[in-house]
Structure 1
Amino acid sequence: MSRLAACMLTLLLALWAGGVMAGPWPRGDGEVFLSFSVEQDGDGNRYTGLYSEYGLNPRHTLGLELGHSTAGESSVMLWSQRAMDGGEGPDRLTLSSGIGVIRREGKLIPLVQIGAAWGRGLDGVPVLKRLPGGGWLAVDARAKLARSEEGEPDRTPDANGRWSSRQVYLTPKTTIKAEVTLGWKARPSLMVINQLRLEDRDDLGFSAKLATSVVRDLTGPAKIELGVIMPLAGEGEPALKIGTWIQF
């Protein structure tokens, strides 16, 4: 299948199509990774996301994330990741930073992000290295800070005697996320991915979820992902996930 045909196939599957987090393995020079996916729970809440990575050089990866939820929130994030290890030994470590914006209730809210990731192949992990086929273990963490406008009535006139409708001030909204991922290459064309998702938000508090996905090769560079997401703590309902990956 040609590269163009594979991209078209992925876009078609995206019509079925949440976001993923950057792993600690940088993309190769000039490599592109795309992921389209959707997660929907039993209450009809849905998150649709586009995630992409581009290997700028052996140590730097650029990323773009677009997301939209049925709660009426859309977001875009542009980030850069740098490998902090020398590419030798079992461990991989990266640091990242990004800027973006959230659109909520017709307002645009600036967003900044910092993150770190660690990973190791299963051949370097005691006990897990016994799994046939190999795989990887990774820990990703990031913090997002959004500054939103809020206000309250201002009862004092300005220097010209005019009354202000409200006093506006910026309030930081913090979200901290962490994911622990265990990926297993059960077969050359089949991967099983278990992921513990932890999140702490100013507005919703702490939550924990367990996501299990099966990723299978399609024709050419495309893959399809099917999974379930189960809440362990905090708000949330069981959800289903379907998406596609493509790398070239």
Structure 2
Amino acid sequence: MAIRALLLLILMTGQALAGAWPRERGHGFFSFSIEYAPEDESFFTAAFAEYGLTGRITAGVDLGFSDDTLYKAVAFGRVSLSDAAADWKTAFELGIGVTEDNAVLRPGLSFGRGFNLAERSGWLSIESLAIYEIENNNVEFSTDVTVGLNMTDALKLLVQVQSGDHPMDPDYINLAPSVVFEASPGLHLELGMKAGLKEEGDYAVKLGLWHHF
């Protein structure tokens, strides 16, 4: 029962948080978000969807737009490598698509586990990706570490540390806190911000919508 409750928690907390936990068979998730960076008056829009094909295999698509230009479009499959009863969840994924007009392969590893803190449940998620540009024979890396805490049944607090190296944001480290609340059954709203830890004045605000089905 506890394992099922933890899995349900992860299913309800969003795209970036579910990497190590597979979607249940026949269940899916969709998210849409907009980030606005006041310093350069730019927008980044993201859309993400995934669906549980089996108890261990999840398929999905990851889209991103910088202002009005397609930045990434990647289709992926993810396989759970851990038993349902394991404390630490592990998953491997492989994606194929384009980033900035470059054909890419995108393998990745995800790790995660649940925990309890002051009578509240929470989770830790670590997701690492390697983006291999086939034509340029170039590899870029990114790692996101997320800690989440359920304050109430309808309110969650998240803190994410994002790091990596790619042409749009070279050698970056970002701190991205946010608050997520349930607007209606199955529908969550996210309000957050992102601050660059290596570039002073580099920040953005974020509005997101999550739906699981």
TM range (shorter): 0.7 to 0.9
**1:113 paired residue among 94, 100, 106:** 106
**1:238 paired residue among 191, 199, 203:** 203
1:80 aligns with 2:77: yes
How far apart are 1:138 and its partner, in Å? 1.1
Q: Give structure 2 stretches of 5+ with no counterpart.
A: 1-14
Specify the alignment match of 1:166 in structure 2.
none
1:16-59 Cα offsets, whole Å, 9 max, x none, are xxx84752010001101000001111121211011011000100
Structure 2 residue matching 1:86: 3-state secondary structure: coil
Q: Which moved more, 1:221-230 or 1:196-205?
A: 196-205
1:142-172 Cα offsets, whole Å, 9 max, x none, are 110123xxxxxxxxxxxxxxxxxxxxxx422
Q: Give structure 1 stretches of 5+ with no counterpart.
A: 1-18, 123-128, 148-169
Query: Compared with structure 1, are the counterparts of its residues 178 and 79 closer, same or farther at alpha carbon in structure 2 (3 Å cutoff)?
Result: same
Query: Compared with structure 1, are the counterparts of its residues 235 and 66 closer, same or farther at alpha carbon in structure 2 (3 Å cutoff)?
Result: farther
Greater strand proportion: 2
* TM-score normalized by the length of structure 2: 0.86
* TM-score normalized by the length of structure 1: 0.75
The separation in 1 between residues aligned to 2:191 and 2:17, in whole angstroms, is: 17
Query: Compared with structure 1, are the counterparts of its residues 23 and 236 closer, same or farther at alpha carbon in structure 2 (3 Å cutoff)?
Result: farther
Q: Structure 1 segments of 4 or more deviating over 6 A? A: none
The separation in 2 between residues aligned to 1:172 and 1:234, in whole angstroms, is: 28
RMSD: 1.9
Specify the alignment match of 2:21 in structure 1.
25
Q: Is the 8 A contact 1:41 1:239 kept in 2?
A: yes
How far apart are 1:237 and its partner, in Å? 1.4
Query: Compared with structure 1, are the counterparts of its residues 241 and 203 closer, same or farther at alpha carbon in structure 2 (3 Å cutoff)?
Result: closer
1:100 aligns with 2:97: yes
The separation in 1 between residues aligned to 2:185 and 2:68, in whole angstroms, is: 36
The separation in 2 between residues aligned to 1:246 and 1:203, in whole angstroms, is: 29
How far apart are 1:73 and its partner, in Å? 4.0
How far apart are 1:235 and its partner, in Å? 8.1
Q: Is the 8 A contact 2:193 2:204 kept in 1?
A: yes
Query: Compared with structure 1, are the counterparts of its residues 21 and 73 closer, same or farther at alpha carbon in structure 2 (3 Å cutoff)?
Result: farther
How far apart are 1:101 and its partner, in Å? 1.6
Structure 1 residue matching 2:22: 3-state secondary structure: coil
How far apart are 1:202 and its partner, in Å? 5.8
How far apart are 1:230 and its partner, in Å? 0.8
Specify the alignment match of 1:198 in structure 2.
163
